[in-house]
Amino acid sequence: MQYINRPINVLIFDSGLGGLSIYKYLFYNLPSLNYVYVFDSKFFPYGDKEDLFIINRVIKIINKIQKNRSFEIIVLACNTVSVTSIGILKKVFPNQMILGSFPEVDIAVHSTKNNIVCLLATRKTVEHMSNVIERYSKKYEIYSIYSSEIVELAEKKIRGVTVSKNRIQSILIGLSDHKNPDTIILGCTHFSFISSEIKEAFPSCIHLIDSKRSIYNGLLNFVYKQQKNKIFYGKSKNLVLCTGFDYKIKKLYDLFITIGFSDIQRIIV
């Protein structure tokens, strides 16, 4: 095995800012790695787009970035990208480890006490998870709800825009069909940023399950195998890349600085 005698380079991909929930968890626990966060602001959100569009778009963006930078690990900090694209991406980029964000159904069914679980996700993620959910249907009641509007409201909240908590809750309650899950799977990385609103909409909820820990474990395993817990110096500054750079993006500069990034740049794709 060829060991890497420098900080490992990690590319984190999302259509919007929801993947920052993944980045912050990784950066807090593994701060010595080099992180580049890219979000496709030009075509956000991905949740209602066709599979082929998403796949081609992700490949195009990663190829563009890798003309100037190399990465050992690509983190798909987007459930929609993960469920539609990870198999193809592993073939297109065989030299990188690719970690995806997937709804943690198995963890959820082992956490629930009343056997009622809700998957809150995008339409595309719900479609791709139907077979997985079906495998548990005899013992557990797992139902799925999705809303593009909630994703967009969560994105606004991350950007510092005041959003209506009542609006988020009314959407969720309207979709819930009066069911009382004690466990909710966050099938979109944006939803970590509206966890309080979700809990208020579902008073019966005890557990919110996301994929941060699974991604961290995969990354930690790679780091351990490559570097055997050694610390290498020469870490680069963390960078944000986006595909649609306008005044709204510029206003996010302070946000990115406070969570460990040094700059935000536009890539034309």
Say yes or no: 189 and 128 in one domain.
yes
For residues 82 and 161, membership in a common domain is answered with no
Residues 253 and 228 in one domain: yes
Residue 2 lies in a domain: no
**Predicted confidence (pLDDT) per residue in 104-124, tens digit:** 999 999 999 999 999 999 999
CA dihedral 8, 14, 19, 24 (to 10 degrees): 30
Give residue 234's pLDDT band: very low, low, confident or very high (50, 70, 90). Answer: low
Q: Are 199 and 227 contained in the same domain?
A: no
Domain boundary at 193, 209, 225, which? 209
Residue 250 — very low, low, confident or very high, per pLDDT cuts 50/70/90? confident
Confidence of residue 246 (pLDDT cuts 50, 70, 90): confident
Rounded to an integer, what distance in angstroms lies between the CA atom of residue 268 and that of residue 266?
6
In a domain, residue 130? The reply is yes
Q: Quick one: CA dihedral 190, 40, 59, 130, positive or negative?
A: positive
User: Which are the catalytic amino acids?
Assistant: 78, 188
Q: Same domain, yes or no, for 74 and 15? A: yes
Q: Kindly state whether residues 19 and 93 are assigned to the same domain.
A: yes
Same domain? For 77 and 135 the reply is: no
The C-alpha atoms of residue 33 and residue 231 are separated, in whole angstroms, by 10
Do 217 and 96 fall within a single domain? yes
- As a whole number, mean pLDDT of residues 17-25 equals 98
Q: Is 67 contained in some domain?
A: yes
Report pTM. 0.94
Residues of the domain holding 112: 105-209
Q: What local confidence, expressed as pLDDT, does residue 210 receive?
A: 97
Orientation angle between helical segments 212-227 and 20-29, nearest 10 degrees: 40
Q: Do 81 and 59 fall into the same domain?
A: yes
Work out the average pLDDT over 137-159.
95
The DSSP call for residue 71 is -
Number of domains making up the chain: 2
Pick the last residue of a domain from 185, 209, 233.
209
Is 4 a member of any domain? no
Q: Which residues contact 268 (CB under 8 A, 6 or more apart)?
A: 64, 243
Report the percent of the chain where pLDDT is more than 90: 84
Query: Per residue in 70-100, pLDDT tens?
Result: 999 999 999 999 999 999 999 999 999 999 9
Q: Are residues 169 and 228 in the same domain?
A: no
135 and 188 share one domain: yes
Q: What is the mean pLDDT of the chain?
A: 92
Torsions phi, psi of 142, nearest 5? -115, 115
Which pLDDT score is estimated for 1? 43
The DSSP output letter for 90 is H
pLDDT at 199 over 60: yes
26, 71: one domain: yes
